[in-house]
Structure 1
């Protein structure tokens, strides 16, 4: 369930939402910290969560911190957690429900911080949404035992306990976002897991020891490369458009 044995290309094809989220993490990290002179500093400032600024009408700050990170290790850790623990849920729930659950838990964690957190604090990171996924797993372990086996139940509970402990031990951690992200995931789990049976949408995993030949493998690979090129071109076009809109319409209003 949490062991990844897909190839890079098959992972991208199978888990498009997770792939897109990781690309967004990397893109904004590179923009903010490698190219601050191209608007990276402004993007970081505009995207961070802050209660005072939210109360002044900058409501996007409830959402944007989910996609931004405070440094390389912060981004890498959250992206790795998403790649490791997200695929099973994306496979079971489907792309729309998985993305909705991910965003909903991240937003709910930031909303709780708005009401209970320190107004002087600026925060960013996908940890609230990541812990939201853990909350869904915790609900499965405690209530929907038919959706997860004992071995994976023990693994996920160990990870969750360690994550909670580290939340309180490490300095600079948004404790409220972690804890209420976890709670939010458990709260929405009964809704998103409705009518879901074990292995409902699980994709078969190829056994690397199997010997076989697909006569269409080369045509499939060519089609994948063609689609990948389109994705890259579209991604760069979207980045350029986003940067143009921000620099033209949003940044001038700050000065």
Structure 2
């Protein structure tokens, strides 16, 4: 489930949404590195800035999901997508997967806006990534038929490590991580119950 054996062409064909998300992350990150004033301004408008959101710049609740400033942040979130997202795209289907991905990310950014101070800024897909973990947590508790025993053990270990790292590392948007995993779990309760 989490081991990738496909070649590049097969991956694109099997998981087009995941591939598109990864491509968008990389393109936006590269745009941030172009030393042109206009491009720096473009990235500025993608960052979640609570003060600007309060002034009506609502798109900043969405654009941070695809924006990464540092290479390490881009690498971690892209790697997480590469490992954990393909199985969910296959299980949920393309439409429901992308809806859940962006909905959990937006909820994480709204929670950040509501619970952090007016000067707080944030970027990254971590809220959406943790939303995926929330969906998997739902599977672990309510849909064990979808996961095998080995996959369940790997997932539980990864969720625990991710939550621990949320509180150990500095410069982590703790609220987005927690809101992401909670919203992924709660949304799954309403949308992924056995038919």
TM-score (norm 1): 0.74
Q: Give 1:75's aligned residue.
A: 74
Q: Give 1:209's aligned residue.
A: none
**Could you tell me whether the CA contact under 8 Å between 2:31 and 2:43 is conserved in 1?**
no
How far apart are the structure 2 equivalents of 1:130 and 1:40?
Answer: 26
The alignment status of 1:16 with 2:16, answered yes or no, reads yes
Q: Give 2:89's aligned residue.
A: 90
Root-mean-square deviation (CA, aligned residues, Å) is 1.1
Q: What is the 5 A alignment of 1:12-91?
A: 12-33=12-33, 35-37=34-36, 39-91=38-90
Q: Give 2:150's aligned residue.
A: 151
Q: Which has the larger radius of gyration?
A: 1
Q: What is the 5 A alignment of 1:97-176?
A: 97-176=96-175
Which string of whole-angstrom CA distances, capped at 9 and with x for unpartnered residues, describes residues 141-186 of structure 1?
0111111111111111111111111111111000000111010100
How far apart are the structure 2 equivalents of 1:140 and 1:30?
Answer: 35
The Cα of 1:50 is off from its aligned counterpart by 1.5
- How many residues are matched? 195
TM-score (norm 2): 0.97
